[in-house]
Structure 1
């Protein structure tokens, strides 16, 4: 595996996560060359210079297009607001760069298709930032399902809840704009969709309901502005295997901080997982005497790869940023021409198609088939 030169666009929440991953991937895994952090781009030169010094980049710029012509940059991390993803990703791919783009792909389906097409034409790695699929617990759940540990799966429920938009007095910001698309669906539901995809395959059909807990929000400069998308969504789904599923997403759920609650029901048991307790899951197996049956807790440990790359002792726990480091390592595999446990632009587009089908279902008040043409 050759050394990679890295460019980063955006240094907000996820931008810092990407920077930490690039900084730490070689130290954690020990089997990849240390990436060179070449250039960081931000909205202005002063902010870019400060962030570059903090995050370890050799240079900085207030113009993201400067990264495109730099021959020292092999891969670009895109961590800007959703509306900027298409232009930046397409330009980077056309410039011959690999791309690591945060979710969702784009506010419009046409832009997402254009991103996928640019990835196909470029031949470069183009990967989405779906880090929850990297959790060693999720990987182990997949193995248990494949091994028949809970029999044949017959129903799945997944909920994603946070409370960062629960306060009705919180100021209006870009996540409530129509330009950021469907709110709870593509800002939020794409994460549980990524888990469903990795565990059970893509979505075939959906029926959706959505609500706005608050019709308007205050502006910092005074006055109010109408909320342009929905903070709560409830969806019934049929997956490609014929499996029935329920997905619920709520950005206004007081008390929930990072909840992705996954319940998997089978003919011989059940599995329960919650991202707020991301280093464990509960397994119920309907074996032995009924009076001895019950859920047991499986704690993350070194035998749940790649947990052992971080910590040699069981039960100590990984964190959110550790999942990003794992994702970075998988991306490096793809860049080097090997299979990686990632969601590329091809499957990312299928997740986007599911989201847009959900939105259409809400508008039309009916079941909608998800376009499976990729």
Structure 2
């Protein structure tokens, strides 16, 4: 007798929608799950988009009405990869229907609406997960374990960066990313390095930020000669103070010429240090201060770093971006079935968003802001 199925409803069939669909298709062959995901229904902006997305991604049915997806009795998990402005209404409807909600970051366009979603989910007792999938890297889990063990001593400093080049041209057009309601480099990719800092070091209590717009105008749409002002940041630098006494900084930059995926950080402690870059995501660097040795030791990911072993029995064969999404989905399905918890949940995603908004407020005030 086969496993009981759990129906998946996916809203959005763009890049992240494809990542979600791939993860739900692949996860059962790699992890021993309590439930088997069934790709039930896909919703998109139009009937045509939805039908084409459902066919391409393997969903049984399609709709142009996300509310119909949420209300569908076959759907147990609602996965949201729609534009940011739709996260709140879809999630709130899914919570009201008692569904598990799997939402891409950012949770919402404002911390206030993110808090509303969080409190609704907690009151309803539903499982929630937000797609900060870089946290699923076994090397990041190992780094957290090393820090918690005291191996590098008391953490004193954190230096983090998320830099990419997809907006490095002044002719990169406006999109949802440049919408003042929820856009900008800090909100778009700064949330990733902020979530990483909180995951590894802990709560951030004070921030001071400088947000810069590099290109004052951009084309209103792809190929257009009409240009409109840019009202969000292309680059932000922020100083941080952590609850545990550590200090640090982050940079969020989507106009970083030559950089494609520089999600990187360095952590210093009183006995050692750690360093990581997503561009070399299967490596963690550790400096332990052993007498007579200098420089970092490279730790390469392998079966000793779960759940790498679910993918490959041999070290050095490397995980990739989509594998992190599969790990994320495995944790989501287990939590939905009552086998442990998954995170970051809505509460943690709200804290990340609250931190981002404190940085934006700091830039406006030109001073430190306490959370």
TM-score (norm: length of structure 1): 0.95
Q: How does 1:141-290 map to 2 (within 5 A)?
A: 141-181=143-183, 183-219=184-220, 220-289=223-292
More displaced, 103-112 or 1-10? 1-10
Q: Give the conservation status (yes or no) of the 8 Å contact 2:287–2:297.
A: yes
Q: Give the conservation status (yes or no) of the 8 Å contact 1:25–1:328.
A: yes
Task: Please give the root-mean-square deviation of Cα atoms over the aligned residues, in Å.
Answer: 1.3
Cα offset for 1:15?
0.7
The answer to whether structure 1 residue 128 and structure 2 residue 130 are counterparts is yes
Secondary structure of the 2:50 match is helix
More displaced, 169-178 or 79-88? 169-178
Q: Give the conservation status (yes or no) of the 8 Å contact 2:33–2:334.
A: no
For 1:344, the equivalent position in structure 2 comes to 345
- Separation of aligned partners in 2, 1:228 and 1:20: 35
Match for residue 17 of structure 2 among 8, 15, 18? 15
* Cα distance per residue 1:177-210 (max 9 Å; x no partner): 21224x1221111111111121121111100101
- Separation of aligned partners in 2, 1:115 and 1:252: 31
TM-score (norm: length of structure 2): 0.96
The answer to whether structure 1 residue 331 and structure 2 residue 332 are counterparts is yes
Match for residue 105 of structure 1 among 104, 107, 110? 107
- Separation of aligned partners in 2, 1:52 and 1:359: 38
Cα offset for 1:127?
1.2
Structure 1 320/345 Cα, relative in aligned 2: closer, same or farther at 3 Å? same
Secondary structure of the 2:9 match is strand
For 1:39, the equivalent position in structure 2 comes to 41
Q: How does 1:301-316 map to 2 (within 5 A)?
A: 301-316=302-317
Q: Give the conservation status (yes or no) of the 8 Å contact 2:35–2:333.
A: no
- Separation of aligned partners in 2, 1:217 and 1:186: 19
Secondary structure of the 1:236 match is strand
- Separation of aligned partners in 1, 2:268 and 2:341: 28
* Cα distance per residue 1:289-331 (max 9 Å; x no partner): 2xx3221111100110000100111011000110011011111
Q: Give the conservation status (yes or no) of the 8 Å contact 2:129–2:342.
A: no
- Separation of aligned partners in 2, 1:40 and 1:31: 23
- Separation of aligned partners in 1, 2:359 and 2:338: 34
For 2:32, the equivalent position in structure 1 comes to 30
For 1:81, the equivalent position in structure 2 comes to 83
Unmatched runs of 5 consecutive residues or more in structure 1: none
For 2:356, the equivalent position in structure 1 comes to 355
For 1:57, the equivalent position in structure 2 comes to 59
Q: Give the conservation status (yes or no) of the 8 Å contact 1:136–1:300.
A: yes
Match for residue 48 of structure 1 among 36, 47, 50? 50
- Separation of aligned partners in 2, 1:31 and 1:350: 30
Q: Give the conservation status (yes or no) of the 8 Å contact 1:202–1:351.
A: no
What stretches of structure 1 move > 6 A for 4+ residues in a row? none
Secondary structure of the 2:115 match is helix
- Separation of aligned partners in 2, 1:60 and 1:340: 30
Secondary structure of the 1:272 match is strand
Cα offset for 1:53?
1.2
Secondary structure of the 2:316 match is coil
Q: Give the conservation status (yes or no) of the 8 Å contact 1:26–1:32.
A: no
For 1:69, the equivalent position in structure 2 comes to 71
- Separation of aligned partners in 2, 1:299 and 1:32: 31
Match for residue 90 of structure 1 among 92, 96, 119? 92
Aligned residues, how many?
367
Secondary structure of the 1:179 match is coil
